[in-house]
Structure 1
Amino acid sequence: MALVWLMVFLTSVSGLLQMEEDPNVLIKNLRMEPGERRLTWDLHGNVSEIMCFINSKLITKAIDNNRYCQFHVLPLCEVRNFTISLTKGPPFLMGIQYPLQEGNPGAAAQRLDCWVHDVDFLTCSWEVGREAPSDVQYRLYWQELREQECPHYEMDDRGRHVRCRFNDVSRLPKQLQILVRGTSHGARIPCLDRSVELSEIERLSPPNITAMCNKSYSMMEWKASSHVNLRFEYQLQIQKGSDPAYTEKLQENFFQIHNPGNYMARLKVKGFFRNTWSEWSAPQYFVCDLGEDSQWPNWLLTTLVLLGTLLVPGLAVVLCGRYSVLQKLFPPIPHMKDPITDNLEGSKLVAWEASRASREDCPVAEVQVLGET
């Protein structure tokens, strides 16, 4: 690689020398126009086609009658080699470096990584530069036409920013540049940048499965959520009873099983044009063989079982509590004493038959009263 760039340098020097000696050289004054994001030059004469390279990788070809090369994104921090060459005619190669290096590269942030997660959030993390001064501090920005700082930082144990989160991905451009700038009182800190497309760096969350089922069939549905991906692919894993699990690859967000019985299902998802799958969702269990024409959703059945389990002891507690309260509010009346029967408790009693007594003649004795003599 060093040999290649030595040849580029020598060719560029040769071109510059020719410009001084040969006023008919075709291309002069190669330069970058950052505001327009284009590499341009002064063209003297006709050429068939000019190709533009970044670090020896072909990026695009010149437009507007071979006047310049247009780039979607320019590096803001990392120095790269921009070169142009002719496809026909005498060999020609000219290059420049952009942007200019400032400060110690070892003090810049390192290993910048960004990802979209949990539908709404963009998080970026980085490491402190190996040669960073002790008072270094880093700040994260996103840039399209303007530059905005990330609002929610996380720090390491020395108070240096090493992570930041944007809360509302839906308000961000779908393509943007992320850069980390460093500051220090005693040194210039180079920045670190990365161009990202949000749909490519999203880590999707597996959706939840809902189902309507009976003993004849089960219809499962789900919905993946994303602000930056619109089409999805799914892998649905199903296991019926003790049978081996099998996997279905789907583009639809529904699937039907015949004669489902009781089964387990889980799901993972990826963007349609992406390569990275989400994690598997937690296994979900569905009980479908509950009798004829039972079409209750699984969550409703589970809820009813839980409610029944809780209601039985709850009802017992309520009844016991209610009986105790009634006992306190309405205590039993004490037994009243009978002054006659309570004292004759051990005596022998004879029943009196009034009708019999009326039929008997009572003996009559004559009593004579004698006067005093």
Structure 2
Amino acid sequence: MRKGTEDLHHLGSPTSVLATAFLLSVVLDSAWLLTQEQQDLPAVKPDASLNVKFDPQTTKLTWDCKENTTYGECALIHKEKGLIKKKVKHSDCQCTFPDCSLHGGVTLTVEVSVNQRRLSEMLVYTNPGKEGTAAENFSCVIYDADFMNCSWAKGRAAPDDVQYFLYVRSKKRIERECPRYLKDSGTHVGCHLRNLSGLTSYSYFLVNGTSQEAGIQFFDSVLLLKEIEQYNPPDNISVQCNVSHCLIQWEKPRTRQARSNRELQYQLDIERWRDTSSSRSQLIVVFGDSGNRYNFPKPGSKAKHTVKIRTADARKARWGAWSPPVEFGSEEPESSLVYIYVMVVLGTLVCGLTLGCLFKRFLKTHRLFPPVPQIKDKLNDNQQVDHEMLWEKFTHEAGKGDKEEVLTVETVSEAPAKL
């Protein structure tokens, strides 16, 4: 007890009180300065959210704006095209990406700098709906320069009441729905477009669907219209032949957009007329920069041929339809048959005339040199005449005289009547 009283008395001395007060003032001043420094630091938390949002219809990425933003960058990571980056202006809180297919899902990132501190956020965009319900086997083709057909198949896991809709969007963000659908059991499986005005070289195609039973995934694709166009056959095909060659000429076909000769190629199918064997067919590729002409060596004056031509892009052999066949040369197959027939007829006539002349000549010869007639006994027609005796008697009597007697013999066609 005593000792404790002494300690209290020691602490209560004036010197100790002054020392304690000094120490307290130093500690409080340091604490005040530390608090003031902390108040001067930026009020930004490292895990602050930017509230990133993505609109697949406009391919626009947006986020919450922050004050004092000095830097910004956004990126889209595509499974096929890879990384696509876009710079962001100081006052903008959004960025728009070029059209690309999104049905396979994409990853988007945003990075901004606020008060010399960087904030970043990532967003994973997936295709909503049930797996396997999206349209399949999608394709489009442009023909006759002004028409386009698109087709697709029903998803393998799509419900029976599914209905699909096609939307086409140009590079200028002009979107329109298919005006005329092709149906299979009531389900849209194709589209026919008769007006392609407004479509740019690259166009975005979207096929989404609706159903009461399940959510339907969408399918989208970006197509280069130049690559899906099937060109018409060339115009004004003509053939001019001389002694050695046949010059085949044509004009480039009408296309949806103007194409130079260098952007086109042609395939010529030259065949002998009425000969469908593949060994006789000649497929020849001619590029447009050759002047849309081809010199075909003339096989002969009796060979008739036909030529058909079709068109394709010079960088991709997507051939269009064949032109109607154009004939050139002479008609060898038909003329040869006629020639053989005429030769047979002429040969028959010549042989007939030859035989007739020979027969006629034989008749004339027979008339000039008739056979020697027999001497008949006018007195006794019934008795046999001894020809040897008569001949010997005639020659013996003829040798006695100096003059030769001419015996005139008449041929008796009918014996005289008996007296």
- TM superposition score category, shorter chain reference: 0.5 to 0.7
1:201 to 1:229, Cα distance in 2 relative to 1, 3 A? farther
- The Cα shift of 1:40 comes to 4.7
Larger radius of gyration: 2
Correspondence for 1:255 among 293, 315, 335: 293
Q: Residue 54 of structure 2 aligns with which residue?
A: 32
Whether 2:92 is the aligned partner of 1:64: answer: no
Correspondence for 1:234 among 249, 256, 265: 265
Q: Residue 128 of structure 1 aligns with which residue?
A: 154
- The Cα shift of 1:279 comes to 4.3
**Larger helix fraction of residues:** 2
- The Cα shift of 1:193 comes to 2.1
Whether 2:97 is the aligned partner of 1:97: answer: no
Contact 1:236/1:250 (8 A) holds in 2:
no
Computed over aligned residues only, the root mean square deviation of the Cα atoms, in angstroms, reads 4.3
SS in 2 for 1:251: helix
Q: Residue 222 of structure 1 aligns with which residue?
A: 251
Contact 1:221/1:254 (8 A) holds in 2:
yes
Aligned-partner Cα distance in 1 for 2:312–2:91: 41
Q: Residue 168 of structure 1 aligns with which residue?
A: 195
1:74 to 1:248, Cα distance in 2 relative to 1, 3 A? closer
Q: Deviations over 1:113-143 (max 9, x none)?
A: 2221232221111111222222222222223
Q: Deviations over 1:301-338 (max 9, x none)?
A: xxxxxxxxxxxxxxxxxxxxxxxxxxxxxxxxxxxxxx
Aligned-partner Cα distance in 2 for 1:138–1:36: 20
Whether 2:319 is the aligned partner of 1:278: answer: yes
Aligned amino acid, residue 234 of structure 2: P
Aligned-partner Cα distance in 2 for 1:59–1:78: 16
Whether 2:152 is the aligned partner of 1:153: answer: no
Task: Give the TM-score taking structure 1 as reference length.
Answer: 0.56
* Unaligned residue ranges in structure 1 (runs of 5+): 1-20, 291-373
Aligned amino acid, residue 163 of structure 1: G
Whether 2:80 is the aligned partner of 1:80: answer: no
* Unaligned residue ranges in structure 2 (runs of 5+): 1-42, 273-279, 332-419
Correspondence for 1:112 among 130, 138, 152: 138
Aligned-partner Cα distance in 2 for 1:196–1:282: 27
1:225 to 1:244, Cα distance in 2 relative to 1, 3 A? closer
SS in 1 for 2:205: strand
1:283 to 1:83, Cα distance in 2 relative to 1, 3 A? same
Aligned amino acid, residue 277 of structure 1: R
Aligned-partner Cα distance in 1 for 2:198–2:85: 30
Aligned amino acid, residue 55 of structure 1: H
Aligned-partner Cα distance in 1 for 2:229–2:282: 32
Percent identity of equivalent pairs = 24
Alignment of 1:344-355 (within 5 A): none
- The Cα shift of 1:58 comes to 1.8
- The Cα shift of 1:206 comes to 3.1
